[in-house]
Amino acid sequence: MFKKQLSIKNIVAIGIGAAVFIILAKFVSLPSPVPNTSIQTSYAFLALMAVVFGPIAGALIGLIGHALNDAISYGSVWWSWVVVSLFVGFIIGLVAKRIDIESGVFNKSKLITFNVVQIIAQAIGWFLIAPVLDILVYAEPANKVFVQGLFAGVSNMVTVGVIGSILLFAYSKTRTQSNSLHREL
Amino acid sequence: MKKPVIEFNNYSFKYHSQVDPTLKDLSLTILEGEKVLIVGPSGSGKSTIGHCINGLVPFSYKGDVIGSLKIKGEEAKDLDIFSLSKIVGTVLQDPDGQFIGLTVGEDIAFSLENDCIEQKSMVALVEEVAEMVEMDRFLSSSVHHLSGGQKQRVSLAGVMVDHVDVLLFDEPLANLDPATGKYAMELIDRIQKETNKTVIIIEHRLEDVLHIDVDRIIVMDDGRIVADMNPDELLASNILEEIHIREPLYVKAAKYAGCEVTEEMKPSKPLSFAVDKEKLIAWYESTDSIIPRGKSEPILELNEIAFQYHAGHETIQGVSFSIEKGEMVSLIGKNGAGKSTISKLICGFEKPSSGTIYFDGQDITKDTIKERSERIGMVLQNPNHMISKHMIFDEVALGLVIRGVPEQEIKERVESVLKICGLYPFRNWPISALSFGQKKRVTIASVLVLDPEIIILDEPTAGQDLRHFTEIMDFLVELNRNGKTIIIITHDMHLMLEYTPRAIVIDSGKKIADESATTVLTDAEIIKQANLKETSLFELAKRAGIREPKEFIGRFIRYDKEVRKNWQ
Amino acid sequence: MAVEMLSYIERKSPVHELTGVTKLLCFIIWSTAAMLTYDTRILLFLFILSIVIFIVSKIKVKEISFILIFILIFLLLNNIAIYLFSPQEGVKIYGTSHILFEIVGRYNVTIEQIFYQLNITLKYFTVTPVALLFIVTTHPSEFAASLNKIGVSYRISYAVALALRYIPDVQRDFRNIALAQQARGVDLSSKEKLSKRIKNAASIMIPLILSSLDKIETISNAMELRGFGKNKERTWYSARLFQSKDYIILAVFVLMLVGTLVITFHDGNRFYNPFL
């Protein structure tokens, strides 16, 4: 099943998706109300790509995008957090079929599905996986990494919830058939 | 006898996403070693023919096929896209999309890699092909350091390395400046002669392709073949004019002058074209010359502007010019000469390292992007880079909404701009339903709504056929008449010649000329520096013995505009 | 946020001459070793070794100083945060408490805490130079080939190559889009209200995403037309052949990993405890 999913288009989507993920991570982070933290728009994009191209593409965009960005921006890769991006991309991608964004419809029930899944995925990722790996690998103090995870998780949930939903809505609009249009005077 | 390579037999194709078939009952045979040009306006189906030949239809773009298409004697639908790619090599229009490797060598090797060719033989093959396209000295260069023309040559090498039988070029001239385009055509011609491959060129810039010899021209309109003949025969006919394909200017001029153009006059080459000189001179003497526009106040002045991206390397060096209120000016120069940087400096996207910019006599050098955008609007080349809303109305209103303009005023201003742009009937349409030209109008409208005095457009007509070209340009002329000052960044020589009386030429960050467009396009030195090409009208006028060739060009343009006005 | 990016730095050095595969494997081995161990002696040894490799690579500190400054700031903040959250972490790990002086409440300064935080800092310092070197001494063209060689499927390897190839293109598109939107008044800075900033961010992201989707279409067509994905494997133009020095270096690194693991875990504890 995996072999079949990785069509050329998916491979290209992973590559270009990772590039866009990196550019967004580097250039489009918004100053947030909490001092010294910023809103990472790249996760909203990751969510969109996962919904459009499915779980494998979502996971790999998260993995490659995050790892490459760490590497070229910071000179080393924080694997404990990269794993979270992979996980979040994968889990959100699992609802791709159910949301079926190509149909051009992104209604309330799909919006709810999307947000429930993204919140669960990010909760597991940021509240559990990231801190536990940080403790295991770096022996960082538990309370510190859990607070960090909490901040990152909540801010990413809000970002994906708001910007991700806006992006999905905008994307679904471009898929609508437009044969019922007529000129108005 | 030559063998047929491509045979369409009563072939029709309809995309799944469309209601009507794009190709209708097509029958066409292309023989081994032939050089064929396919022309046609946008939407005529000429690109779809290309997709059918290389297999993107129906393997990538799904649809219904009726009839038969044989490639080298085999039914195309029985082959797969990989076997087809061994027969037909395609050079796509977008050089950045096709250039997949990081370096020249890697990109040329791409299909060899996919064939699991051993590295040693791969290196040898790549070198051999790179030499053919004169890129052998650049094998380790990164894609990011190449010009558009070089990227295209690499793409060509990348398909030749497969020893394909057919080379298919999809609008090879669309992204090239005139001199590079001319060189590209010569290269294609040379390679065809050396290797005797079949060459198919899909392009609507007829005069530029005819710089080399082609065996046949296939004219497409509305999914059908309306002509299939040799260039001389085609140019002698009225077919091109009927479907609004731009004829070579020298042929057009002869037709305006009342010369009967026949196949025997060899109209496909300006040098061999046996034109009736007397008639041409008589027409020249009877037409009016262009009335120069009166002087007015300067609205934009650049004074000794300098700029550098990296310390120590000045991208722009001491550029000064002044633009008058109500002018329509073109800013030209080859890729990387600095014309885009100048436009960014004017809009405040970049800050000059020294020099001053005046607007209406006021120093605006220190103004922010937002402040300047109310005086100077910038329209990007790719409309998709500007559009962020779903509905036309919202897109145009965006700049006003952000500025907190009251709702009632927004409605009035947006509606009035939509009326000017001819988009009012579509105001509640989604932008995705619009054509490229209409999208372009939306982006112009979204800039216009802030009521700037000056509008700068980057290649507004790139890749457009004559009808859309005329539509966009006439719209700009209309805006210009209503008092807007317009600056166009372009390397389209027709645009310069026909629409912008004045041209500012930039080379290596310096201004090298500030003259009338006619002077620029007849000055050998400037033409060379700015990668332009001399207009064929100049040659025609000289050969006819007209003493003022520039004046001849001016009169032709004036006359031509009058004629084309009647199309709309 | 670091806006500058690390990229390949052309040079003639023994490190550059190693194949990408060797460097990738060494990078993985090194990261594994440095992640698993907390033995101060090993960390110190690895750190000094990494400095030596760095000097051999002929990369100048100046060329990567922007990253180093960033990492130093990060480590400083991280150390402060660790202390604020858990001033007794060292005591917990090493089981003794040698108090230097008291501050307030549970906040005192112990030798154990200082030693623990030094170890954490050392650990980050050990990972960084090698990762940095891997990035600046491996030509991006060779990277995908190397991934494929160590067992990653060539399709995924190629996705990585595409990402590296198109980052500058996407960046250029992004700049154009952002500037054009700024001219219309779109503002992402904290001058705007948060809700507005979010909307504004979307108006830059949407054109970027839609034009990137167009790009995906064109590129997949181009790759399809040139036979990508036709076979189960593919060869790589820019792959390099293994030489004896590659084997030697790999062997050394593997031995080093084994040694690290043995020394670290022989007593059942990954920490080196000088307080016992």
Question: Chain C 229-258, CB below 8 Å of chain B: which residues?
Answer: 229-231, 233-239
- Using N-to-C axis directions, what is the helix angle for A108-122 and A42-53, rounded to 10°? 120
pLDDT at A2 exceeding the cut of 50: no
Bigger pLDDT: B1 or B45?
B45
Q: What is the mean pLDDT of chain C?
A: 90
Q: What is the mean pLDDT of chain B?
A: 92
- Would you list which residues of chain B are within 8 Å, Cβ to Cβ, of chain A? 19, 390, 425-430, 432-433
Range of weakest confidence among A10-14, A117-121, B490-494? B490-494
Under 8 Å between Cβ of C237 and B109: yes
pLDDT at A143 exceeding the cut of 60: yes
Chain A residue whose CA is closest to B60: A9
List, in order, residues 6 or more apart from C2 with CB less than 8 Å away. A26, A73, A74, C66, C67, C70
Report the C-alpha gap between B110 and A111 in whole angstroms.
42
List, in order, residues 6 or more apart from B470 with CB less than 8 Å away. B564, B567, B568
Strand order across the B23-31 sheet: B23-31, B4-15, B63-71, B74-75
pLDDT per position as a tens digit, B32-79: 999 999 999 888 999 999 999 999 998 888 899 999 999 999 999 899
Contacts of B425 in chain A (CB under 8 A): 183-185
Chain C residue whose CA is closest to A38: C1
Average pLDDT over residues B454-477: 88
Number of domains in chain A: 1
Contact B19 A179 (CB under 8 A): yes
Contact C183 B347 (CB under 8 A): yes
The β-bridge relationship of strands B328-332 and B485-489 is: parallel
Report the C-alpha gap between B94 and B77 in whole angstroms.
27
Contacts of B114 in chain A (CB under 8 A): none
Under 8 Å between Cβ of C209 and C195: no
Under 8 Å between Cβ of C143 and C161: yes
pLDDT at B409 exceeding the cut of 70: yes
Report the C-alpha gap between A149 and A142 in whole angstroms.
11
Min Cα distance A137 → chain C (Å) is 6
Domain B298-534: top CATH class: alpha beta
- Sorted by where each begins, the domain ranges of chain B are 4-245, 258-286+535-568, 298-534
Q: What number of residues does chain A have? A: 185
Report the C-alpha gap between C136 and C9 in whole angstroms.
5
Q: For an interface test with A, give the residue of B17, B20, B385, B432 to mutate (most A CBs within 10 A).
A: B432
What is the per-residue burial (b if ≥16 Cβ within 10 Å, else e) of B264-276?
Answer: ebbbbbbeebebb
What pLDDT score does C268 carry?
77
Please report whether residue A159 resides in a domain: yes
- Please give the C-alpha separations between residue A63 and each of A2, A27, B352, C171, in angstroms, as whole numbers: 17, 19, 40, 20
pTM: 0.93
Give the whole-number percent of chain C exceeding pLDDT 90: 66
At B487 the three-state DSSP class reads strand
Contacts of B348 in chain C (CB under 8 A): 183
Contact C3 A45 (CB under 8 A): no
Confidence of residue C150 (pLDDT cuts 50, 70, 90): very high
pLDDT at C80 exceeding the cut of 80: yes
What pLDDT score does B397 carry?
94
Confidence of residue A3 (pLDDT cuts 50, 70, 90): very low
What pLDDT score does C1 carry?
40
Interface size A-C, in CB pairs within 8 Å, comes to: 188
Contact C238 B373 (CB under 8 A): no
Under 8 Å between Cβ of B228 and B219: yes
pLDDT at B5 exceeding the cut of 90: yes
Classify residue A126 by its DSSP letter. Answer: I
At B70 the three-state DSSP class reads strand
Contact C224 B60 (CB under 8 A): yes
Kindly give the residue spans of alpha helices, DSSP state H, lying in C184-193: none
Burial tier of B4 (Cβ tally within 10 Å: 0-12, 13-18, 19+): middle
Task: Name the strand (E) or helix (H) holding B376.
Answer: strand B376-379
- The tokens for B6 are 């491509």
Query: B4-245 has which CATH code?
Result: 3.40.50.300
Q: Which domain holds residue A152?
A: 2-174
The ipTM of this complex is 0.91
- The tokens for B163 are 């020893």
**Which chains does C contact via 3+ CB–CB distances below 8 A?**
A, B
- The tokens for B375 are 């005086």
Question: Which of A176, A179, A184 is closest, CB to CB, to B428?
Answer: A184
Average pLDDT over residues C145-162: 95
Min Cα distance C82 → chain A (Å) is 6
Range of weakest confidence among A27-31, A65-69, B38-42, C35-39? A27-31
Contact C179 B349 (CB under 8 A): yes
Average pLDDT over residues B259-273: 91
Contact C230 B387 (CB under 8 A): no
**HSE (CB half, 13 Å, CA atoms) of C94?**
24
Question: Which of A60, A74, A171 is closest, CB to CB, to C70?
Answer: A74
What's A149's domain CATH number? 1.10.1760.20
pLDDT per position as a tens digit, A33-72: 665 567 789 999 999 999 999 999 999 999 999 999 999 8
First to last CA, chain A: 52
Contact B430 A185 (CB under 8 A): no
What pLDDT score does A181 carry?
61
pLDDT per position as a tens digit, C212-225: 999 999 999 999 99
Identify each DSSP E strand in chain C by its residue range.
99-104, 107-110
Burial tier of C270 (Cβ tally within 10 Å: 0-12, 13-18, 19+): middle
Sign, CA dihedral A106-A112-A115-A121, equals negative
Contact A163 C81 (CB under 8 A): no
Please report whether residue A182 resides in a domain: no
Report residue A30 CA to chain centroid gap: 16
Give the whole-number percent of chain B exceeding pLDDT 90: 72
Angle at CA of residue A70, ends A66 and A74, nearest 5°: 165
Identify each DSSP E strand in A7-164 by its residue range.
29-31, 38-40
Contact C211 B385 (CB under 8 A): yes
- Please give the C-alpha separations between residue B468 and each of B22, B48, B418, B437, B568, in angstroms, as whole numbers: 19, 19, 18, 6, 11
Report the C-alpha gap between C254 and B379 in whole angstroms.
58
Under 8 Å between Cβ of C20 and C145: yes
Name residue B232's amino acid: D
pLDDT per position as a tens digit, B6-31: 999 999 999 887 788 999 999 999 99
Under 8 Å between Cβ of B224 and B43: no
Confidence of residue A177 (pLDDT cuts 50, 70, 90): low
Q: What is the mean pLDDT of chain A?
A: 89
Report the C-alpha gap between B313 and C63 in whole angstroms.
19
Contacts of C221 in chain B (CB under 8 A): 56, 60, 92, 97
pLDDT at A22 exceeding the cut of 90: yes
Contacts of B447 in chain C (CB under 8 A): 183-184
What pLDDT score does B263 carry?
93
Give the whole-number percent of chain B exceeding pLDDT 70: 99
Contacts of A170 in chain C (CB under 8 A): 202, 206
Under 8 Å between Cβ of A99 and A113: yes
What pLDDT score does B313 carry?
81
- The tokens for B60 are 């990538």
Min Cα distance B390 → chain A (Å) is 7
What pLDDT score does A34 carry?
62
Please report whether residue A62 resides in a domain: yes
pLDDT at B305 exceeding the cut of 60: yes
